[in-house]
Amino acid sequence: MKKKLLRRYYKLLGKLAHSYIHKHNPQVIGINGSVGKTSCRMIIYQTLQQFLPNKKIYTSPKNFNGELGLSLSIFQIEKREPNIICFFTTLSKLIRKRLFWSKPYDIILLEYGIDRPGEMDFLLTITKPQIGIFTAIDSVHSEQFGNPAEIAREEVKMLKNTSEIWFLNANDAYAIQLKDLLHIDYLTYQTEGHDIKADIYFKDELFSLVDFKGGVGVQFNLRIKEKKYNIRTNILGKANYGYIWLWLAIAGILDYQYARAASTPENPLLRNGSHQQLELNYKLQPGRLSVFQWIENSVIIDSTYNASPLSVRKIINTAHNIKTQLFPQRKILLVLGDMRELGDLTEREHRMIAGYVSQVADHVILVGKYMTDYLADELEKVGYDKTKIDKFYDATIAGKHIQKMLKESGDECLVVCKWSQNTIFLEEAVKHFLLNPEDHKELTRQSDRWLNKKKEYFS
């Protein structure tokens, strides 16, 4: 009964959101895929704000997507609580906005997130994007779908309903298979930094220390057909470099459209084909490749928001590259928690990352049943020293152990944290060895609701 009521509620909000979009007719940029959506969305949003200053641009600051989140994003509702009072106050706000508000934005970026078959069909009844971006498919959500191929079949629906142009990740096998299924213009981009056939690519990743607190920056060369850019930024990860070029391409498309409509000159930054240098600084999302200074002068790469097999492999690769260029003498300490929602692929996917872990990690801290059962066993099978593996079921106990280990050894380490959300809360382990307690607020899931939930869980 409760599920039926929720479905009716979501459907009602969806109709209001559809009517709202139809009334104001903004440019809709849709982002989908099973990994990387939020990072992609926030990078594009923050850079479009800088380079299209005369346009009102919006995206939800929250990780709002799916049946409820898409409607809330459209109405710029940025807070929700799972109770009946919030349901009614939210509905009231949406009705008032639909009836009385003027146009709220010219461009909106929406995350088409799905976690069950058929959900994309509902999201597309709310609104269909003019510009579509496909990130990548991974095993995450296989618990609901069965396998990545089924996920891809659901995700492709958004691209089939995109009206103007779409962007495909050339490093994703599922994305490349879609090219012959779609019948509008497209461009391909890469997210791994090596030579492949793509319209936009980057190379020459070079890390640097940017402040005394251990902050890490990066520069790389980016090419969009005839346009060349040298990018300097504070955001790490090769997939993110690919998303940075997306905003350049999208900004160029939108700037041309707006300039043509208004008979005004185009943005010279986006018009010229000569080599240009750009400094791009972003407000990083908590738990998505943030860098902090830790006790004993160690450096942390915090990616505790969520995890999938693909994202775990990528952060291990990033950590290895940072170590090679900046900290060749430091040890890498990998802190890994369970990857969730993998269904029948759970054991296989946890075992398959053993090769990546064994080649990079000097010491491994594993938290959760899947990591301690499957990855630990596989590491021993591939010859990894079992005395370098520590296993825990409680993130706070793991955090205290790491704190003690760093203090006693005196080693300056590069500490990398990655896990899926739900029940482990690895970010609480991070708190035990951050050098500056004020950095606690920069970790993921630090709202009062989450802190109360975690307090109850750990007690």
CA distance 291 to 251: 29
* 3-state DSSP percent of the chain in helix, strand and coil, to 5: 45, 20, 35
Burial of 293 (0-12, 13-18, 19+ CB in 10 A): middle
Q: Among candidates 295, 257, 157, 15, which has minimal Cα distance to 166?
A: 157
Q: What is the predicted pLDDT for the residue at 212?
A: 45
DSSP 239-276: HHHHHHHHHHHHHHHHHHHHHHHHT-PPPHHHH--S-E
CA distance 407 to 402: 9
Q: Which amino acid is at 263?
A: S
Q: Which amino acid is at 41?
A: R
Q: Among candidates 189, 202, 198, which has minimal Cα distance to 235?
A: 202
130 CB contacts (<8 Å, ≥6 apart)? 27, 28, 29, 162, 163, 164, 165
Q: pLDDT tens, 59-86? A: 998 888 888 889 999 989 887 776 677 7
pTM for this model (two decimals): 0.85
Q: pLDDT tens, 385-413? A: 999 999 999 999 999 999 898 888 878 88
Secondary structure (3-state) at 403 = helix
Secondary structure (3-state) at 398 = helix
Domain segments of the chain: what residues? Answer: 2-201+237-274, 290-458
Structure tokens at 81: 């609580």
Q: pLDDT tens, 219-268? A: 998 877 677 888 899 888 888 888 887 877 887 788 766 655 544 444 54
CA distance 121 to 158: 8
Q: Which amino acid is at 121?
A: D
Q: What is the predicted pLDDT for the residue at 268?
A: 47
Instruction: Give 169-176's long-range contacts (Cβ < 8 A, gap of 24+).
Output: 169/33, 169/134, 169/135, 169/136, 169/242, 170/196, 170/197, 170/198, 171/136, 171/196, 172/33, 172/134, 172/135, 172/136, 172/137, 174/136, 174/137, 174/148, 174/149, 175/33, 175/134, 175/136, 175/137
Q: pLDDT tens, 344-379? A: 889 999 999 999 999 999 999 999 999 999 999 999
Sheet strands (E) in 69-193: 107-111, 131-134, 165-169, 185-189
Phi/psi for 239 (5° steps) reads -60, -40
CA distance 401 to 384: 21
Asked if 325 contacts 206 with a C-beta cutoff of 8 angstroms, the reply is yes
Between 3.10.20.340, 3.90.190.20, 3.20.20.70, 3.40.50.1100, what CATH number should domain 290-458 receive?
A: 3.90.190.20
Q: What is the predicted pLDDT for the residue at 265?
A: 45
Q: What is the predicted pLDDT for the residue at 264?
A: 46
336 has pLDDT over 90: yes
Secondary structure (3-state) at 362 = coil
Q: Which amino acid is at 455?
A: K
199 CB contacts (<8 Å, ≥6 apart)? 187, 188, 189, 224, 225
Q: What is the predicted pLDDT for the residue at 256?
A: 62
Q: pLDDT tens, 19-61? A: 999 989 999 999 998 888 888 999 999 988 888 888 899 999 8
Fold of 2-201+237-274: UDP-N-acetylmuramoyl-L-alanine:D-glutamate ligase (3.40.1190)
CA distance 459 to 452: 11
Asked if 129 contacts 29 with a C-beta cutoff of 8 angstroms, the reply is yes
Q: What is the predicted pLDDT for the residue at 263?
A: 44
pLDDT, mean over the chain: 84
Q: What is the predicted pLDDT for the residue at 73?
A: 92
Q: pLDDT tens, 146-181? A: 577 777 788 888 988 999 998 988 888 887 777 777
Asked if 292 contacts 406 with a C-beta cutoff of 8 angstroms, the reply is no
Residues in the chain: 459
Give Cα 447 distance to the centre of its chain. Answer: 19
Using alpha carbons only, give the angle 394, 399, 402 rounded to the nearest 5 degrees: 125
CA distance 165 to 186: 5
Q: pLDDT tens, 404-457? A: 988 888 788 899 998 877 778 889 988 888 888 888 888 988 988 888 888 888
106 has pLDDT over 90: yes
